[in-house]
């Protein structure tokens, strides 16, 4: 079990290959820190994440390996591909829509308008006779049994903008390295670059500022009633679903503390403190945002919190830059 589906899935698979990393180390070495949000008007779906989309690829590269990936329009071809990997004793990380996983159905009413087909679980086995598979998922301590039919729906391309698209990931790795020190600076430089120079305007440090201004505008223009679902969805994604800024800032702070203890670099301890503080700020923001549709006067508190977050996020990246410059 773990705090996030993607980082837990990678931790489980890496341990299978001999890398006994914490979930926080997986996230940090994979340069997973990020920010992205989106509203899809055509499907009325919402998406927000405090992680970037290339953590697994970054992690494989940092460990001297590679990442096998694929996605398919043809569901049967997609199934045969991952089935062959399982036959070769290769655990596979699947992209899945949580709305079609039976063990997630008790939560479906709360997340129906969230565009989230990028949930991750580890496929560890299948049974053709029973037409069932076994999945390891981060919120459950035991493998989850899922029918072929439900798995097909959860993996299907679907109509949404954030669709699973029958995608999978599998690691191809070398033997575990004796130390992580050389990989650390690669991960730090990549984190800095992704936050400062994202490839889309609703990502990274600039994306945080845009999110702040867009939500603020809804209240200043009196549009918050019409956009109630959008505001509540972002609040839910920030904390309850565990994809938002707070959870990942918490993990990144723990990663920096763990590394600082290993290589005796006190500058990392200082940077870790910034991300621990940011985790609390993002959690406060989630609660505030969830109340705002009914209490629009909380706009002042939201504005102040977002300003603090913007300042601290920039300070966090600046602190990492100082560490990298020192070497």
Q: Is 155 exposed, middle or buried (0-12, 13-18, 19+ CB in 10 A)?
A: buried
Beta-bridge mates of residue 46: 39, 114
What's the pLDDT score for residue 326?
84
Against a cut of 0.95, is the pTM above it?
no
Nearest to 168 by CA among 45, 87, 100, 86: 86
Fold of the CATH domain 5-172? Cathepsin B; Chain A (3.90.70)
Beta-bridge mates of residue 47: 38
Domain extents for the chain? 5-172, 181-326
**Each residue's pLDDT expressed in tens, for the chain with a length of 327 residues:** 898 999 999 999 999 999 999 999 999 999 999 999 887 777 667 788 899 889 999 999 888 899 999 999 888 999 999 999 999 999 999 999 887 889 987 765 555 555 567 889 999 999 999 999 999 999 899 999 999 999 999 998 555 556 788 999 999 988 776 555 557 888 999 999 999 999 888 999 999 999 999 999 999 999 999 889 889 888 888 877 656 668 899 999 999 999 998 888 888 999 999 999 999 999 999 999 999 999 999 999 999 999 999 999 999 999 999 999 987
Could you give phi then psi for residue 292, rounded to 5 degrees? -60, -35
Burial letters 282-301, b for 16+ CB under 10 A, else e: bbbbbebbbbbbeeeebbeb
How do 92-96 and 66-70 pair as beta strands? Answer: unpaired
Compute how many other C-beta atoms are within 10 angstroms of the C-beta atom of residue 200.
10
What's the pLDDT score for residue 114?
58
**Cα(279)–Cα(271) distance, rounded to whole angstroms?**
13
Tokens of 165: 């698209």
Note whether 106 and 28 are within 8 A (CB): no
SS3 call for 41: coil
What's the pLDDT score for residue 98?
82
């Amino acid at each position: 079990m773990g705090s996030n589906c993607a980082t837990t899935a990678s931790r489980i698979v890496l341990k299978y290959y001999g890398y006994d990393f914490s979930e926080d180390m997986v996230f940090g070495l994979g340069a997973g820190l990020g920010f992205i949000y989106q509203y899809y008007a055509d499907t009325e779906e919402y998406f927000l994440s405090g992680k970037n989309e290339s953590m697994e690829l970054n992690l494989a590269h940092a460990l001297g390996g590679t990442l096998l990936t694929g996605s398919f329009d043809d569901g049967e071809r997609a199934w045969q591909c991952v089935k062959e990997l399982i036959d070769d004793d290769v655990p596979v990380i699947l992209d899945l829509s949580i709305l079609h996983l039976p063990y997630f159905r008790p939560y479906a009413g709360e997340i129906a308008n969230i565009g989230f087909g990028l949930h991750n679980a580890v496929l560890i086995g299948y049974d053709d006779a029973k037409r069932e598979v076994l999945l390891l998922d981060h919120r459950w301590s035991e493998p989850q049994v899922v029918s072929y039919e439900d798995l097909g729906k959860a993996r299907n391309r679907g109509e949404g903008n954030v669709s699973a698209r029958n995608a999978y990931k599998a690691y191809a790795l070398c033997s575990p390295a004796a130390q992580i020190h050389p990989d650390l600076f690669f991960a730090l430089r990549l984190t800095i670059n992704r936050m400062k120079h994202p490839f889309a305007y609703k990502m990274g440090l600039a994306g945080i500022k845009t999110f702040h201004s867009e939500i603020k505008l809804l209240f200043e223009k009196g549009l918050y009633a019409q956009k109630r679902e959008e505001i509540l969805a972002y609040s839910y994604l920030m904390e309850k679903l565990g994809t938002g800024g707070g959870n990942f800032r918490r993990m990144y702070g723990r990663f920096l503390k763990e590394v600082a203890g290993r290589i005796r670099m006190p500058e990392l301890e200082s940077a870790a403190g910034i991300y621990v503080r940011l985790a609390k700020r993002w959690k406060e923001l989630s609660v505030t945002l969830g109340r705002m549709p009914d209490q629009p006067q909380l706009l002042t508190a939201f504005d102040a919190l977002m300003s603090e977050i913007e300042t601290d996020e920039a300070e966090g990246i600046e602190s990492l830059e100082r560490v990298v410059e020192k070497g």
